Chain A
Amino acid sequence: MEQQNYSLKQDPEYTPRPNKKSIIKKFRGSQKLQKYLFVYSCLLLPILFYFGIRIIPTLFTFNVGFRDWNLLSTGAQPFVGFENYLTLFKDEVFIKSLLNTGVYIVLGVVGQLLFGIIVALLLHKINRFVGLFRVIYFIPYVTSIVAISWVFQWILMGNGIINDVLVNLGIPPQPFLNSPDQAIYVIIAAMIWQAIGFQMVLFLAGLENIPDMLYEASEIDGATPWQKFWHVTFPLLNPTIVFSAVIGTITFIQVSFTQVINMSVDGSGGPLNSTLSVVVYIYQLAFQQFDMGLASAATVILFLFIMALTIFQMKVLTKKFDY
């Protein structure tokens, strides 16, 4: 505490003790002024940005969601209450897109966590070529989603290389992206493929933070490898899992747009809307039908959906473990 008095306080309420010399007071006064000048001059642009480009637009979206607002019709945008929301929930395509988004997130996030942990555990076991494998598994993460989506389309074509391999193995060729039953899983697989490296790095760091002592102790107690994983590794990786799940969910919602536009057969969620995600549908509502009211209401639903999911993940995945 005493130490604090010698340092120049940042507290605006702070007044120097009266027995200090006036020259120090002056020095401190000008310092304080300089600090305030610095703080507010630097915050001017950020405050403008956050209000003008983040906060006010967010409120604006809520507003538009309650109005009949079509860019094609000129004139008033009357307030219609919850009508847009009712229309959306009666819209089969929207419900389908919500369900699809659920499938994308659940399978995609679980898949990338699972493969991320597996690769990290394997890398943790070996002591040669760790760096090389890490680079190889991470490469897909830094590459353009658009480019990769087209590469996957090419590989999985009716007469593409994968089907050729399948035929050679005596398996009938698969329709993959042309099939309403398979397309969504193919897209999820591509998304997982791209995210494994990122999850692997997070889990590797998590594994390195687990003290060896705990493994040695469990070995003395005669634990099997499976018990070691389940009772030592898994609980201690818990914070990483929660973090990865939350980050994975948020990025998946965005990535699903790019991937679906570039991988689905018709470029807009086909065949038969089987790969349509909420973001793709919002894009269609807003920029192909120009129905901003309906699209805004859909983004509000998406927002609530993400928020509920995040809270759920934090609650369910964050468990307390006793040792």
Chain B
Amino acid sequence: MKIGKIWPYILLIIGSVVMIFPFVWMLSTSFKAPMDIFNLSIFPESPTLANYIQIIEESMFIKWFLNSIIIALITTISVLFFDTLVGYIIAKFSFVGRTVLFILILSTLMVPTEMLIIPWYMMSSDFGWADTYWGVLFPGLMTGFGVFLMRQFMEKIPEDLLNAARIDGMNEYAIFFKIAVPQVWPAISALGIFTFLSNWNAFLWPLIVIESASLRTLPVGLSFFSSGEAESKWHLIMTGATISVIPLILVFILLQRHIIKGITLTGMK
């Protein structure tokens, strides 16, 4: 009976090693001097910060990092605002064109992004949006998924609660922000986390729309860096990878309860 209780732990620990090892090896390489990287010890013999100093001084990682944060933050704020608002309106108001609008928004969910990159690219070059922050941002400002999700949650808000506020003379904007939004806060934070993550990791569209090196996002920057200027300099590539991976892992560990709850909440609808 005792062995039966222990084997799940053994399997999970083996799995954990597989999950963690790539990160350990990445970190370890990033602290090694160039000639030590093929020395296959997990703990560097003479750990050095030289790789980090070199990367920060000679390439644009800090700039790329800031670009990624700015783009992911603006997109997330826009998605949260508009998707919540549209979800609320579709759930709680009847107006001419409501069903048509909802079906149109849902239908955009069926179309993969890949199908839109060509028209977006043409739009961007015609309107002069290519190679700007706006060019990276504009396709993601609202999402069909978010509207769908928020509508589900908004529908559960009791009508009486909103009407009570109306009778008290609150205007519709105040009702949305002060009554409706607090009711669906868990869903909003889940949507926010996912939107941020997917924009932080976005690769295809930023790769297409950005031309100048200083406007690259972190994934695009790292990709060019690793195949270009740092080719085969694995100590530098691993340092770049560490810079793009570790902040997100730390944020995740801080917010892990919310993130895991968020997946469960949104996934189980």
Interface residues of A (CB under 8 A from B): 7-8, 10-12, 31, 34-40, 42-43, 45-47, 49-50, 53-58, 60-61, 64, 119, 122-123, 125-126, 129, 133-140, 142-148, 150-152, 154-155, 159, 161, 164, 193, 196-198, 201-202, 204-206, 209, 240, 243, 247, 250, 253-254, 257-258, 261-262, 267, 279, 282-283, 286-287, 292, 295-296, 299-300, 302-303, 306-307
Contact = CB atoms under 8 A, between A and B. Distances in A.
Given A122-B8, A303-B112, A35 B20 contact: no
B19 A64 contact: no
B244 to A, nearest CB: 5
A300 B256 contact: no
Interface class of chain B by DSSP: helix
A155 B222 CA distance: 17
B249 A142 contact: yes
Interface residues of B, number: 91
B56 interface: no
B217 to A, nearest CB: 10
A123 B12 contact: yes
Nearest to A124: B8
Interface of B: 8-9, 11-12, 15-16, 18-20, 22-23, 25-26, 29, 38, 40, 82, 85-86, 89, 92-96, 101, 104-105, 107-108, 110-123, 138-139, 141-142, 144, 159-160, 163, 166-167, 171-173, 197, 200-201, 203-204, 207-208, 218-220, 222-223, 226-227, 234, 237-238, 240-242, 244-245, 248-249, 251-253, 256, 259-260, 263-264, 267-268
Given A144-B200, A202-B264, A137 B19 contact: yes
A52 to B, nearest CB: 9
B114 A151 contact: no
B223 A287 contact: no
Contacts of A122: 8, 11-12
Given A45-B82, A49-B141, A126-B9, A31 B204 contact: no
Contacts of A148: 22, 241, 245
B114 A279 contact: yes
Contacts of A49: 82, 141-142
A218 to B, nearest CB: 18
